[in-house]
């Protein structure tokens, strides 16, 4: 094919070389120019099209580098052999599915959601101020790759916070910063090895449960009494790892007393390679006196892995969690050599470091504790008027309560009636690893995201509809 006639437009909108390139590419894609077919020499084509040879060379170079044509020495250019070639180039505009297209969710007037923070609870102004400072002061350094475990500054701030507020005695070098607990659990799974048998409290925090299940872990559910996980039952499962939430079990809300904590530590210490994963997810909000020290603070044998997060205490979208590994495990991790890059941007790490270091976090927690304490007290007042309907527990900490019906109402019926009244409450059965056969009679009410007025209205309504 030496008579390639390309209809060139000379209005300057598309460069000449590009028009030649597009034309030949299209011909090849449409199969009009076939594998093995010879192209005109660039000299000849330039002459035919009355343009400069370098323009044709540019087009040929691009076709060459994309593999549409090949150059055979002393012979010229030929169309390459390609299989199943197809390539679309029209412009596309994407629009988000409207709510109609999405699966329609029931609409609730009130939602006693179990996650989320109080409206207005995020310290915007300080965060903005710190962001500005970080972005203007730090310069280029901040945008180079950092320490795979997180920058020293944030790890030190976390270690100091854990030491003073949670009684955890760790070195910054034991800490790994990560974008959320899901990610840290994945990392932990890499560090601990893949054949762990992990016991979990039942019911439990299903997000962690599914993380572990997705990774292929064997999960062994263990029952709880009023003090927390049953140690005897744990022993019988043959688990080598246990995932617990001693400072405020989710969803049951109990605080594990010291004696049970000691038993748990004894369980872990009594056999080589046993580990406790302590998820201290909402230890920050405690209404009676100061927080109970973390289990990790009592760990003498290096068998507690501590997980904490700013997603619960600061905002769900602040994707920063931290994990404290016992010395032996951090050594194992570092010995892997090629570590996973840190998942939190250095900007966010620096902002958070300053947020902790300058005392903003402490003040924020105190402020939020007061906010939640008010909501908590309001909830408790409302619930006391419902004592003929249900008892409640889990009131010492966290931002949700557990209601247990004493008037014969079942969970299913309670959730159904609430839904009819436009109120979303959460059945405990949803958080069970194995669904039990017998009827449940407990529901969960989170109050963090509810306005006081709404708590009053919704609780009044619940009292009416839950009467039997």
Site string for its own copies, 309-328 (x = CB under 8 A): --x---xxxxx---------
- 84 C-beta neighbours (distance < 10 Å), count: 4
User: How many residues make contact with its own copies (CB under 8 A)?
Assistant: 106
Tokens standing for 44?
A: 């000849």
Q: How far is the CB of 464 from its own copies (least distance, A)?
A: 30
- 39 C-beta neighbours (distance < 10 Å), count: 21
Q: How far is the CB of 436 from its own copies (least distance, A)?
A: 20
Tokens standing for 273?
A: 């390679």
Binder among 10, 11, 83, 100 for its own copies (CB under 8 A): 83
Tokens standing for 332?
A: 């194992």
Span near its own copies by CB under 8 A; candidates 36-44, 203-211, 272-280, 422-430 = 203-211
Q: Which is nearer to its own copies, 27 or 382 (CB)?
A: 27
Tokens standing for 38?
A: 């010879």
Q: How far is the CB of 118 from its own copies (least distance, A)?
A: 10
Contact set for its own copies, span 152-171 (CB under 8 A):
152, 156, 159-160, 163-164, 167, 169, 171
CA quadruple 77, 81, 86, 89: dihedral, nearest 10: -20
Binder among 11, 31, 75, 88 for its own copies (CB under 8 A): 88
Residue whose token pair is 């889990």: 394
Site string for its own copies, 324-353 (x = CB under 8 A): ------------xxx-xxxxxxxxx-----
Does 13 sit near its own copies (CB under 8 A)? no
CA angle 385, 388, 389 (to 5 degrees): 90
Alpha-carbon distances, residue 437 vs 268, 434, 442 (angstroms): 32, 9, 15
- 359 C-beta neighbours (distance < 10 Å), count: 9
Q: Which is nearer to its own copies, 290 or 453 (CB)?
A: 290
- How many Å is the maximal CA-CA distance in the chain? 98
Q: How far is the CB of 207 from its own copies (least distance, A)?
A: 6
Q: Which is nearer to its own copies, 214 or 388 (CB)?
A: 214
Binder among 109, 235, 236, 258 for its own copies (CB under 8 A): 258
Strands (E), 271-365: 275-279, 304-309, 321-324
Contact set for its own copies, span 394-423 (CB under 8 A):
396
Q: How far is the CB of 65 from its own copies (least distance, A)?
A: 5
Does 21 sit near its own copies (CB under 8 A)? yes
Binder among 26, 67, 366, 464 for its own copies (CB under 8 A): 67
Strands (E), 212-280: 218-222, 224-225, 228-229, 241-244, 275-279
Burial of 310 (0-12, 13-18, 19+ CB in 10 A): buried
């Amino acid at each position: 094919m030496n008579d390639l006639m390309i209809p060139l437009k000379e209005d300057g909108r598309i460069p000449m070389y590009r028009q030649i390139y597009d034309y030949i590419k299209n011909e090849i894609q449409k199969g009009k120019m076939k594998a093995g077919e010879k192209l005109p020499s660039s000299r000849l084509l330039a002459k035919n099209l009355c343009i400069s040879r370098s323009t044709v060379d540019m087009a040929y170079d691009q076709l060459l580098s994309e593999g549409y044509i090949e150059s055979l020495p002393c012979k010229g250019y030929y169309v390459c052999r390609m299989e199943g070639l197809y390539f679309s180039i029209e412009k596309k505009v994407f629009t988000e599915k409207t709510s109609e297209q999405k699966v329609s969710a029931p609409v609730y007037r009130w939602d006693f959601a179990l996650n989320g923070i109080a409206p207005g609870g995020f310290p915007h102004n300080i965060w903005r101020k710190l962001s500005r400072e970080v972005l203007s002061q730090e310069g280029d350094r901040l945008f180079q790759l950092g320490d795979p475990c997180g920058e020293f500054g944030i790890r030190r701030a976390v270690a100091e916070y854990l030491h003073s507020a949670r009684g955890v005695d760790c070195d910054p070098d034991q800490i790994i910063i990560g974008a959320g607990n899901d990610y840290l659990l994945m990392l932990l799974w890499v560090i601990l090895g893949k054949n762990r048998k992990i016991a979990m409290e039942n019911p439990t925090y299903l997000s962690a449960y599914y993380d572990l299940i997705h990774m292929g872990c064997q999960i062994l559910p263990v029952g709880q009494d009023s003090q927390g996980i049953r140690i005897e039952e744990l022993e019988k499962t043959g688990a080598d790892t246990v995932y617990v939430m001693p400072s405020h079990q989710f969803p049951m809300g109990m605080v594990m007393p010291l004696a049970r904590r000691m038993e748990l530590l004894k369980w872990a210490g009594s056999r080589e390679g046993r580990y406790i994963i302590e998820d201290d997810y909402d230890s920050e909000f405690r209404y009676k006196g100061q927080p109970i020290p973390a289990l990790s603070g009592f760990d003498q044998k290096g068998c507690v892995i501590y997980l904490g997060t700013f997603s619960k205490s600061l905002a769900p979208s602040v994707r920063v969690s931290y994990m404290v590994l016992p010395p032996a495990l951090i050594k194992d991790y570092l010995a892997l050599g090629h570590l996973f890059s840190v998942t939190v941007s250095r900007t966010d790490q620096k902002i958070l470091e300053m947020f902790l270091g300058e005392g903003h976090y402490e003040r924020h927690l105190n402020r939020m504790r007061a906010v939640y304490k008010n909501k908590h007290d309001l909830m408790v007042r409302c619930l006391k008027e419902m004592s003929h309907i249900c008892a409640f527990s889990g009131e010492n900490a966290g931002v949700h309560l557990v209601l247990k019906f004493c008037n014969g109402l079942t969970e299913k019926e309670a959730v159904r009636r609430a839904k009819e009244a436009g109120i979303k409450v959460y059945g405990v059965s949803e958080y069970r690893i194995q669904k039990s056969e017998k009827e449940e009679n407990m529901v969960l009410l989170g109050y963090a995201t509810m306005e006081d007025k709404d708590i009053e209205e919704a609780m009044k309504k619940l009292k009416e509809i839950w009467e039997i």
